[in-house]
Structure 1
Amino acid sequence: MPDIKVSRSGTFVDNMALPVHRWFRYSAGFAAQWVEQVLVEWGVGKQHLVLDPFAGSGTVPIVCDTLGTPSLGVEAHPVVSRICKAKLLWTTPPERLAAFASNVLRESEERISRTVGYPPLIERSYDPDALTSLDALKSSWLQLRDRSQESELVWLALTAILRPTSRAGTAQWQYILPNKTKKKVIAPLFAFERQIEIIKADLRWMQARASQSLAEIIAGDARTLADNASRDVDAVITSPPYANNYDYADALRFEMTFWGDVNGWGDIHDAVRKHLIVSSSQHSSRERLRLPDLLRSEGVAPIRPELTRVVEQLAEVRESRGGKKHYHTMVAAYCRDIS
């Protein structure tokens, strides 16, 4: 098992060289090799259950599957949890995936794509020819989709190539910047076929090491885990949301906009953010949270005096700053939710 640099253990970078993990790059992730090292050091084995209450795109459950260890993951972001579940479909026969992908490609060649009507974010992020090809693939998949594992893996492949085929630049944490143009852009059809080949190769790799997935993924709120868990857990490995470090709801706005899940930034709150732990000032301001109500919540009781001092200081500082972001209510709500 290769060692991983400690400085990169909290990033997803090295996962993009690992089978299955590399099917989708999720910026709010951490290193799979670090997870494996921890499980080995802790002596976690096939008789144990590992929990990740903030499962993200599936790093912990995928590692557990490679080790033959049962796992339970919870993820509240609807699209991220779907990606996580799709990655765990590694039992799919490669030939079935190849056949379904070929049908999508064949269908796309016969379609007259309509790129008019996409939201501005999408129109500004692609060359017309690239968007035409992507729309044809999308329309073909929508026409052919079914409940099969291979159908879902093709959806994942299409979702994974949206950024590599876009001319738009990407900021830290993968925020899309349509006003900036990147140098390297991959043609959609080539990117799609290459992604399918990668997934096929990884299916064979994984199936040579395990026969079935031992992971259960709950698309929901980790705060209600006690209502869903059927057995006790033996180990917890996770990376919880960090207060005001990253707007997790906005992580996949680009992909959600392409698929028609949202039309713009304003839709993200109702579609995703309101279901997550409060960890950004955008969340607390949109919910119009009241500080007295937050401080009275049972979850913050052990730290209420100290928390009160901190958030009241933040409220004072806020009045002297131009942006007047709701850091005071965000911090209080974060402590309430994470408790």
Structure 2
Amino acid sequence: MLHEVVVEHPDGGLAIIDPVIDRDPENEEFAQLRNGYAYPSVTQVLRMSHMSMTQPRLFESASPSGPLRSNAPTFVNNMTLPVHRWFRFSAGYSAEWVVNSISDFLTCAGQSKAVILDPFAGSGTTLLASSALGCDSFGWEAQDFIFRVADAKVQCSDADPEMILQSAHSVIEASKNTGANRCNDQEPKLLQKCYSEETLAELRGLQEALNGATIDMDDSTWKLLWLALVSTLRPASHVGTAQWQYVLPNKKKINTVGPSEGFMQKARMIAGDISVIRSKLSGNMSILQHDARQPSKVPKDSIDIVVTSPPYANNYDYADATRLEMTFLGEVAAYSDLKRVREPLIHACSQHMVGYDASAAIEDPLLTPIVDRLGPIYEELSSVRSTRGGKKAYHAMVVAYFLDMARVWQYLRAAVRPGGKALFVVGDSAPYGVHTPVDELHGELAVAAGFESYRFTKTRDRNIKWKNRKHRVPLKEGVLEVQG
């Protein structure tokens, strides 16, 4: 879906460009407006007065009382929503679904407000949706880079759109005197594969200019421009860097964006979105870098509802998912550095299993409620593994995953008040074709932790799209509702 783009012009006001009419790069008016060098036309001024109508709404949601749509928990619709669209996190989920779920809870409980917790906050979806409903929220995120993305996004309630635009221009101007002298041979190999020497020098110039501008702008503005920069990294690359798990250096993209242009486009999007939605965010948002398996400072019985999507037990490497960004930021230099990034994360991929003693873990008392079901899965995966070339440690992964989640459920039980609930978007798994009923095992662990009951509502089928899938086990995704 194409939306109008907010741009600034020399007198400091905001103008609107309709991408359907003005997206032609040969259109002189578009080029001037895009670069901030021209005043808007009369038509564009009129469109400015209808900004709240023509910009994407905060949530384009169905009726809260209506049935869940098949794609309700998925992230795809977020890319048309202000703030949520600033960074595409491939493990995200639907803000519309969060709004509908919290609204349903408030209606059933006869409450006007609630306190929300998301123990796997990701890029901040639940916190933003909660704030739009006037609800206070807490979010925990253990992955360092994704935590900073969420921390930047929640600044939207305090940031000044004009300051963002002015500061973005200043960064671009300052970048012209930096970055060019950096030796490309000293860059990590991944970056050399993903960018031309000129593009990488321009990106480094923006980075150095932004890092040098910390004393010239407030904290919210700096964090949002940091987000604008890291959100530009993939569009600026000429290789396969879509928001999937792996970077594909041998796959070439037809369309790319120049670093400075992409940075400014993202800054304009951020400023425009904030000008539309800032007044609509009334709930307090608190995001903490925290491992959900560890005790927290959230008071006992203080949470009305948990709304989240935990990592799936499907071998997705949440550390590798942002390796390009972390490499650019200097936080990892090689694949081996990801081991440190994985340490505070839920065990959800075979790469995380080096040195893990699954035979001891499965004897842990926290797994006693499900060991009769988990044990046979563990044994079958151990057997199948010996027949596969990769010999991936899926047998250990499923044990470690559910032991981690058993600990999470224990801490959630302490935080959620009597009468509260937890909503988990979950999907089942079939590593090496061995089905693992993730929803049911989660539910049993929740009940063992002290919750009253659970039920699962399927929202879509999985493992039906890809022709080259490695097994034919039907899978599903949906919402696990746990009553407190």
TM-score by length of 1: 0.93
Counterpart CA distance in 2 for 1:66 and 1:307 is 40
* Letter matched to residue 162 of structure 1: L
* Letter matched to residue 62 of structure 2: D
Q: Secondary structure at the match of 1:236?
A: strand
- Look up the match of 1:97: 164
- Decide whether aligned partners of structure 1 residues 171 and 328 sit closer, same or farther in structure 2, where only a CA change above 3 A counts: farther
- Look up the match of 1:6: 69
- Look up the match of 1:141: 210
* Letter matched to residue 232 of structure 2: I
* Letter matched to residue 89 of structure 2: Y
Q: Secondary structure at the match of 1:6?
A: coil
- Look up the match of 2:230: 159
Counterpart CA distance in 2 for 1:247 and 1:264 is 15
Choose the corresponding residue for 1:311, options 378, 398, 410.
378
Q: Secondary structure at the match of 1:234?
A: strand
* Shift, 1:301, TM fit: 1.3
* Letter matched to residue 254 of structure 2: K
* Letter matched to residue 392 of structure 2: K
Q: Secondary structure at the match of 1:84?
A: helix
Q: Does 1:244 align with 2:314?
A: yes
Give yes or no for contact 1:88–1:213 (8 Å, CA) kept in 2.
Answer: no
Task: Name the one with the larger strand percent.
Answer: 2
Q: Secondary structure at the match of 2:249?
A: strand
* Root-mean-square deviation over aligned CA pairs: 1.9
* Shift, 1:8, TM fit: 2.6
* Letter matched to residue 151 of structure 1: W
Following superposition of structure 1 onto structure 2, how do residues 35-114 of structure 1 map, counting pairs within 5 Å? Answer: 35-43=98-106, 46-90=112-156, 91-113=158-180, 114=182
Counterpart CA distance in 1 for 2:112 and 2:147 is 24
Task: Name the one with the larger helix percent.
Answer: 1
Count residues with an aligned counterpart: 334
* Shift, 1:46, TM fit: 5.0
* Shift, 1:102, TM fit: 2.2
- Decide whether aligned partners of structure 1 residues 183 and 327 sit closer, same or farther in structure 2, where only a CA change above 3 A counts: same
Q: Deviations over 1:190-211 (max 9, x none)?
A: 111111111111111122323x
- Decide whether aligned partners of structure 1 residues 46 and 251 sit closer, same or farther in structure 2, where only a CA change above 3 A counts: farther
Give yes or no for contact 1:299–1:337 (8 Å, CA) kept in 2.
Answer: no
* Rg larger in structure: 2
- Decide whether aligned partners of structure 1 residues 172 and 199 sit closer, same or farther in structure 2, where only a CA change above 3 A counts: closer
* Letter matched to residue 320 of structure 1: T
- Look up the match of 1:337: 404
- Look up the match of 1:296: 363
* Letter matched to residue 34 of structure 1: W
Worse-matched range after superposition: 144-153 or 16-25: 144-153
* Letter matched to residue 79 of structure 1: F
* Letter matched to residue 259 of structure 1: L
Q: Deviations over 1:221-262 (max 9, x none)?
A: 1122x4320351111111111112411111111100011010
* Letter matched to residue 61 of structure 1: L
Q: Deviations over 1:236-290 (max 9, x none)?
A: 11111111241111111110001101002110111x1111010111101x2x111
- Decide whether aligned partners of structure 1 residues 165 and 223 sit closer, same or farther in structure 2, where only a CA change above 3 A counts: same
Higher RCO (C-alpha 8 Å, min separation 6): 1
* Letter matched to residue 246 of structure 2: Y
Q: Deviations over 1:45-85 (max 9, x none)?
A: 65310111111001110111111111111111011011101
Q: Does 1:279 align with 2:348?
A: yes
Q: Deviations over 1:64-117 (max 9, x none)?
A: 111111111111101101110110001111122223222211210122421521
Counterpart CA distance in 2 for 1:145 and 1:326 is 45
Give yes or no for contact 1:77–1:276 (8 Å, CA) kept in 2.
Answer: yes
Structure 2: tracts of 5 or more residues without a match: 1-59, 407-484
Identical-residue share of aligned pairs (%)? 39
Counterpart CA distance in 2 for 1:168 and 1:8 is 29
- Look up the match of 2:95: 32
